[in-house]
């Protein structure tokens, strides 16, 4: 099946769905490499960027999330992932700063901030034990 996916990706390299299928067939290290390629080929896929960041070391995850923000400046999830990453590392002072920068960036890009969605995002962060990020979102 993998050979078919490789051929398909050569034909349609911007298919998020095909990349996800290919990544699922790999071990963690190869999945990380594949996700790196996938993010290059599909730079507007938040899902691929976030999956790649989850597989990286802390330092490299920061780099990945910064690249994701550059590629998709209108998505709040990338900002929240960066805040959760810092919280998980114990960099508590950075959490509020990142969320504040995210709000400013989203407003600068004319993104509507939907209060109900942000409350839901905060609840999801809290459920994932990212309490400081949840508080910063609120």
* 90 and 137 assigned to the same domain: yes
Q: What is the DSSP string of 3-72?
A: HHHHHHHHH-TT-HHHHHHHHHTS-HHHHHHHHHHHHHHSTT-HHHHHHHHHHS-HHHHHHHHHHHHHH-
pLDDT at 8: 85
* 51 and 96 assigned to the same domain: no
* 17 and 43 assigned to the same domain: yes
Distance CA 29, CA 103 (A): 34
Alpha-carbon distance values, 121 to 24, 26, 78 (Å): 26, 30, 12
What token pair was written down for 113?
């901030």
In a domain, 99, yes or no: yes
Distance CA 105, CA 128 (A): 25
* 78 and 102 assigned to the same domain: yes
In a domain, 68, yes or no: no
Tally the domains of the chain.
2
pLDDT at 6: 76
* 83 and 116 assigned to the same domain: yes
User: With contact defined as beta carbons under 8 Å apart, do 124 and 131 qualify?
Assistant: no
pLDDT at 116: 96
pLDDT at 4: 75
* 78 and 131 assigned to the same domain: yes
pLDDT at 10: 86
In a domain, 129, yes or no: yes
Per DSSP, 85 falls in state: H
Question: Which domain, by its residues, includes 108?
Answer: 73-138
In a domain, 65, yes or no: no
In a domain, 67, yes or no: no
pLDDT at 2: 62
pLDDT, one tens digit for every residue, the chain (138 residues): 567 777 888 889 899 999 999 999 889 899 999 999 999 999 999 999 999 999 999 999 999 999 999 999 999 999 999 999 999 999 999 999 999 999 999 999 999 989 999 999 999 999 999 999 999 999
């Amino acid at each position: 099946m993998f050979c078919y996916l490789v051929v398909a990706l050569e034909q349609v390299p911007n298919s998020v769905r095909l990349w996800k299928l290919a990544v699922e067939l790999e071990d963690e290290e190869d999945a990380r490499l594949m996700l790196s390629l996938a993010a290059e080929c599909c730079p507007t896929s938040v899902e691929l960027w976030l999956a790649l960041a989850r597989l990286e070391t802390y330092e490299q995850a920061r780099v990945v999330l910064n690249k994701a923000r550059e590629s998709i400046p209108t998505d709040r999830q990338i900002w929240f992932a960066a805040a959760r990453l810092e919280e998980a590392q114990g960099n508590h002072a950075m959490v509020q700063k990142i969320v504040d920068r995210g709000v400013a960036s989203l407003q600068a890009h004319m993104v509507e901030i939907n209060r109900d969605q942000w409350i839901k995002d905060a609840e999801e962060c809290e459920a994932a034990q990212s309490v400081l990020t949840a508080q910063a979102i609120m």
